[in-house]
Each structure stands twice: as C-alpha cells, then as structure tokens.
Amino acid sequence: MSKDTQDNVGMSYLDSNANKVFKTYLPLLLFIFVLLFPFYWMGITAFKPDNELLSRDGNPFWIIAPTLAHIEKLLFRTAYPQWMWNTILVSVTATFFSLFASVLAAYAIERLRFKGAKHTGLAIFLAYLVPPSILFIPLASVVFQLGLFDTRLALILTYPTFLIPFCTWLLMGYFRSIPFELEECAMIDGATRWEILVKIILPLSVPGLISAGIFAFTLSWNEFIYALTFVSSSEVKTVPVGVVTELVEGDVYHWGALMAGALLGSLPVAFIYSFFVEYYISGMTGSVKE
Amino acid sequence: MTPLLERVQNSRNVLGLIFMMPAALLLLLFLTYPLGLGVWLGFTDTKIGRAGQWIGLENYIFLMGDSVTQLALFNTMFYTTVASVLKFFLGLWLALLLNKNLAFKSFFRAVILLPFIVPTALSAIAFWWIFDSQFSIISWALVKMGWIDTYIDFLGSPWNARFSTLAANVWRGVPFVAITLLAGLQTISPSYYEASAIDGATPWQQFWHVTLPLLTPIIAVTMTFSVLFTFTDFQLIYVLTRGGPLNATHLMATLSFQRAISGGALGEGAAIAIAMVPFLLAAILFSYFGLQRRTWQQGGSDK
C-alpha cells in the first residue's frame, strides 16, 4: 500500500460530487422519508373521507375529496376539547411548578453548597433514572390514599417526579457556567442570596430556563402511563390517553377520527418545538452530558 | 472572624435546606416513598381495594414459574437488544451523515427529531393504522410492486408483531441517538482529522481511530439512556398490541400493568416491576463506567 493510493482514496471521497449524492444525500433522504412518513400518513388520513379510506383502489397517498368530517366529529361529538384543555392545564402547571422547585434546588446544590450538596446532586441524578413504569403501581396507591384518584391534581403532582430531577440536573449545569465573581461582587454590595438568585443568576440563565421549560412541557404533554393509571373519567383524561382509550370503539376503528386526534394532539408540541429547536436540542444533549 | 465564618456557613446550610424544600418534599412523597412501597408491595398479596398480607417471596417464586412472565422477560430482552443495536447503528449513521457539510443542515436536524418529540401514544396510533391488516399502506405498496400477493398481518402473528413493534420503537429512538451523537461529533476538533489526513489515514481509518475512540464516552451514556427507555417501554406496546397476540409482545412493563391495574393484583404487578430493577442497575453501572472513562480520557481526575 503506497501512500499515494491512500491519499487518492481520501481526496476522491471528499471531492466527487456524484459520490456525495450517493453516499450522503440519498441515505439522508431515505432516513427523512421513513422518519416523516407516519406524520404524512396521519395528516392525509385525518382529511380523507371514509369511502376513500376503506377502498383499495386508486392512489392511497392522495385525497380525491378532502373532508373535515373527522375533525368536526372530534371537536363536537367527543370530549376531545376537554382532553386538550386538561393536557394544557396539567402540562403548564406541572412545568411551572417543576421549574420553580428546580431553580431553587439547583441553586442550592450548585451555589449554596450546603452540607451534603454533592450527595443531594447525586440523588437527583439517580431520581432522574427511575422510570415511571416501575413507579406507577405504588404511586397509584399513594394517589388513592391521598384521595387524588381521578383528578387533574394527581397528574400535576406526579409529573414533577420526572420533571424536577431532569430540570434540576440541566439547570445545575447552567448555573455552574456562571462565574462566581458576579455573585461575590453582589454580596460585597450587600445583596442577599435571594436577590442574587433573582437579579443575577436567573437573568443570565434564561436560555437554560427555556430549555428546561420546553423539555418539561413536552415531557408532560407526552406522558402516558401515569395519566392512564391515575385517571378514569373521560372529563379528566389527557389527549394521549383519551385518544387511545375512548376513540377506539369496539372492532370498528374510525381511522379518520383517530388520526385527526393524533394529529391535533401532536401539533401543539410540534409547534412549540419549531420555535425553540435550538433550546430543545441543547436541553436534550445537556441532559446526556455530565 | 470565626463567628462570622460560622454564621455564613450556618445560613448557607439553613438557606440550602429551605431552597431544597419544595423539590425534596415532592420527590420524597411521590418518588422515594412509592419506590419503597413498591418493594414492599412486591412481598404482599395486595389486591385493588384490599390491603395485603406479607407473603415473603411467594410472588417472585410464582412469577419464576409463570410461563407468561418468562415470555415477557424473553420479549423484553429481545426487544431491548435488537432495538438498541439497530438504534445505535442507524443513529450513528444518521449522525455521521448530518455531521457533513450539508445544505439545510439545521432544517434536517430539526425535522429528524420530530418522532421523538411527538407523543409516543399518538405516533403509535399512526403505526397501528400503518400496520392494519386490511388497509396497511406498506402491504398496499408491496402488492402494487408485485413483491407480495396477500396483505401482511403485521400485528396478528407472534413474530410479525414482535418485529412490527420493534420497527416502531426504532423509528422513535433513532432521532434521540442521532442528535446526541451528533452533538458529540461536533465537539471533536477538526485538527485531529487534518493531522490524520496528513499522515495518510483513509476515511475509514479516521473513523475507526479518531471518531470512534473520542465518541465512546457519549456513546456509552446515550446508549444507556436508550437501553433504559427501551427496557421500560410501555406506551408503544400498550397502544399497538396490548401484549398480544398470545402474549408475544408483552414486555415486563405492560405485563405488570395488566396484572396490577387491569387484573387488580397490585402485589404481583409490583413484583414484576421490581424485577426490572436489577437490569436497570446494570445499565446505570454501565453508564457510570462510561463516564469514568471520559474523565480519564480528558486527563482530569474529578469534577
């Protein structure tokens, strides 16, 4: 193996355009097609009339006569608007409460460095690794004992069990990057810890707060197993649970309405995500680092 | 000096305690306590609406001989192993593709994450429709292309159902792996590639000797999370098959839900859930050693 041939291989790989299309764009487009196809299919089914849905003739990838019947059914003949409202209420409340608790906890662990702060930080990380699917059975019995079964409050109080560890962990990383000197200056000027937190740390960690908030919101919006277990009345259900448990009636599946429900339930998170992509990605990668 | 120092130290601890209060109270009541309660429930014969008696290891002994639980354990291991391997290779491939100089790179990156951010229960419903035995679009396309004659019963027979749920799980997990590995790739300094190119390294050698070793720490952590998510998966199976056909797709999580909530045997369900813990611990230790290696690689001793 001479050095020249090796060089040639390297250069041709970098330079050839045809090669780049073949090795990069083609697989990438294939990935994108597979990753996005279910959403396309969701969308197209939601507007397709039943007779087109249930025929094997024609081109299923397109709609001949689009209809709003499925959406109309969803909005006016099911409890969907109520589920939507529940999901918004639960997600927003749980997110804000978790952010509040996490800011305080992260500041205490990272900056107050109270006795045992290091161990508390580790405990928070371990809490973050406890999966809801091993917690939901005993948690159901706790929720029941507290008389919270079948209420939105049950969800608002239990979602922070996975939101707080995540947000605290993320915010600890952000607070760590803020120089100590800023706090020391403020302290010399006579600021209290609370003033430092509110007037110096929080304004500097707005990106971190947005990351944590967006992530927490989508996590609560997507939560399924707690909402499935702790709630049984239709009026209290969240969108994912409502769609799965109530729109499926017997053996006749109303695919149009189901897909419309899935589509409408996905749009809010997709919409928010589209505005905060960078924050979301930095939150996700930040949670894996450290 | 000393009293002042003491006072600062003091107020720090007191203030720390006050600041920790909301998070600590909530986590103790809704996380630590239930975790302990779950362990206890696993040793009792508690049913919904009836307090249980301590029965020692009876649940675990019963579950060990229970063929459905054995099948669920096999399914969980199979599902986790195959899905994680696929997610790793596809995710790494996607990350490497995205790390190249591309037009619309940030757009691609944003779009790719969609399967991960959309509620899994809802995308699972879309897969349910895609996998429908009579109207599946995949079957339709394959028939039109002349590759098959009859529609595939994706969720109707055990192995078909296993692979269909696997496909949906991989679909959902690849974006997470790809985006976190991409973040890892972007931290690798280009000068390593320049230096190795000057030394005559082929792209493959560069990947094997530069990219992979530097990426190992983040791979370890990402894959640990991926394994955790996959092992404890619930939503996808619950929506697509509810564990059927013939329990072929039951995972530990779905089985514990079926036994505890649908069947009312809280104690037995809790025992199934607790039986997952050793596997989770193994995954966490794996991640721990991955992290250790990173500190060592960067030449640091401790944070």
Domain count, chain A: 2
- Give SS3 for A182: helix
Does residue B303 fall inside a structural domain? no
What pLDDT is stored for residue B23 in this prediction?
94
Shared domain for B24 and B70, answered yes or no, is: no
Mark the ranges of chain B whose per-residue pLDDT is less than 70. Answer: 1-10, 286-288, 290-303
pLDDT given for residue A216 in this prediction: 94
Rounded Cα distance, B38 and B284, in Å: 20
> Residues B140, B251: contact at Cβ < 8 Å?
no
Rounded to a whole number of angstroms, the distance from the CA of B202 to the nearest CA of chain A is 6
Based on the number of CB atoms within 10 Å of its own CB, is A230 exposed (0-12), middle (13-18) or buried (19 or more)?
A: buried
* Residues B62, B55: Cα–Cα separation, whole Å: 11
Best mutation target, B118, B181, B215, to test chain A (most A CBs within 10 A): B118
CB spacing of A137 vs B13 below 8 angstroms = no
Q: Looking at CA atoms only, how far is residue A71 from chain B in angstroms?
A: 16
Q: DSSP per residue over A144-164, as a string?
A: HHTT-TTSHHHHHHHTHHHHH
Query: For position A280, what pLDDT does the model report?
Result: 86
B69: Cβ contacts below 8 Å, ≥ 6 apart? B63, B255, B272
**Cβ(B46)–Cβ(B267) below 8 Å:** yes
- Token pair, residue A135, equals 């917690």
Q: What is the pLDDT of residue A279?
A: 86
Claim to verify: residue B272 and residue B201 sit in the same structural domain: yes
pLDDT below 50 — which residues of chain A? 1-12
- Last residue in a domain, options A21, A41, A68: A68
**B250 shares a domain with B164:** yes
- Same domain? For A273 and A174 the reply is yes
User: What is the structure's pLDDT at B101?
Assistant: 81
User: Could you tell me if residue B67 is inside a domain?
Assistant: yes
Residues A52 and A178 occupy one common structural domain: no
The crossing angle, in degrees rounded to 10, of helices A206-222 and A160-176 is 160
**Does B37 contact A141 at a Cβ distance shorter than 8 Å?**
yes
Say yes or no: B139 and B218 in one domain: yes
Examine residue B245 and say whether the peptide bond preceding it is cis (omega within 30 degrees of 0): yes
Whole-angstrom Cα distance, residue A27 to residue B301? 41
Amino acid present at B274: I
Q: What is the DSSP string of chain B?
A: -HHHHHHHHHHHHHHHHHHHHHHHHHHIIIIIHHHHHHHHHHTB--BTTBPPPB-TTHHHHHHHH-HHHHHHHHHHHHHHHHHHHHHHHHHHHHHHHHTS--TTHHHHHHHHTHHHHS-HHHHHHHHHHHT-TTT-HHHHHHHHTTS-SS---TTTSHHHHHHHHHHHHHHHHHHHHHHHHHHHHHTS-HHHHHHHHHTT--HHHHIIIIIHHHHHHHHHHHHHHHHHHHHT--HHHHHHTTT-STTTT--HHHHHHIIIIIS--HHHHHHHHHHTHHHHHHHHHHHHHHHHHHHHHTT----
Task: Report whether B236 contacts B228 (CB < 8 A).
Answer: no
B114 → closest Cβ in A7, A35, A241: A35
Domain identity same for B5 and B64: no
Q: Do A102 and A24 fall into the same domain?
A: no
A288–B218 CB contact, under 8 Å = yes
Residue B258's domain spans which residues? 57-297
Our count of domains for chain B comes to 2
| B168 and B193 share one domain | yes
What's the CATH code of the domain at B198? 1.10.3720.10
Q: Choose the mutation target among A22, A33, A61, A134 for the interface with B, i.e. most B CBs under 10 Å.
A: A134
Let me know whether B111 and B17 are in one domain.
no
Flag whether residue B195 sits within 8 Å of chain A, measured between CB atoms.
no
A63 at the B interface (CB within 8 A)?
no
A153 contacts in chain B (CB < 8 Å): none
Task: Return the closest-CA partner of residue A162 out of A211, A98, A224.
Answer: A98
The closest CB to that of B119, out of A25, A229, A265, belongs to A265
- Cβ atoms of A28 and B96 within 8 Å: the answer is no
Residues A55 and A150 occupy one common structural domain: no
Q: What is the CATH number of the domain that holds A275?
A: 1.10.3720.10
Q: Which of A273, A74, A260, A257 is nearest to B115 (CA)?
A: A273
Q: Which residue of B has its CA nearest to A21?
A: B102
Instruction: State the best of A137, A144, A183, A255 to mutate against chain B, taking most chain B CBs within 10 Å.
Output: A137
The ipTM estimated for the assembled molecules is 0.87
Domain that holds residue A20: 3-68
> Both A54 and A89 in a single domain?
no
**Cβ within 8 Å, pair A135-B180:** no
Q: What is the token pair recorded at A117?
A: 């702060």
Judge: A161–B24 Cβ closer than 8 Å, yes or no. no
Round to the nearest angstrom and report the end-to-end CA distance of chain A.
Answer: 42
Q: What is the pLDDT of residues B149-187, one digit of tens each?
A: 888 889 889 999 999 999 999 999 999 999 999 989 988
Q: Judge whether B250 lies within some domain.
A: yes
> Chain A, 150-189: which have a CB under 8 Å from a chain B CB?
157-158, 160-161, 164-165, 168
Shared-domain flag, residues A104 and A150: yes
Whole-angstrom distance, CA of residue B129 vs CA of residue B136: 7
Structure tokens at A80: 């969907």
With an 8 Å Cβ cutoff, are A137 and B266 in contact?
yes
**CA of B292 vs chain A CAs: smallest distance (Å):** 11
Torsion of CA B103, B109, B110, B111, to 10 degrees: 90
- Do A115 and A157 lie in a common domain? yes
The reply to whether B193 and B258 lie within a common domain is: yes
Q: Do B23 and B63 fall into the same domain? A: no
Q: What is the pLDDT of residue A2?
A: 38
pLDDT of residue A10: 45
Whether B220 is covered by a domain: the verdict is yes
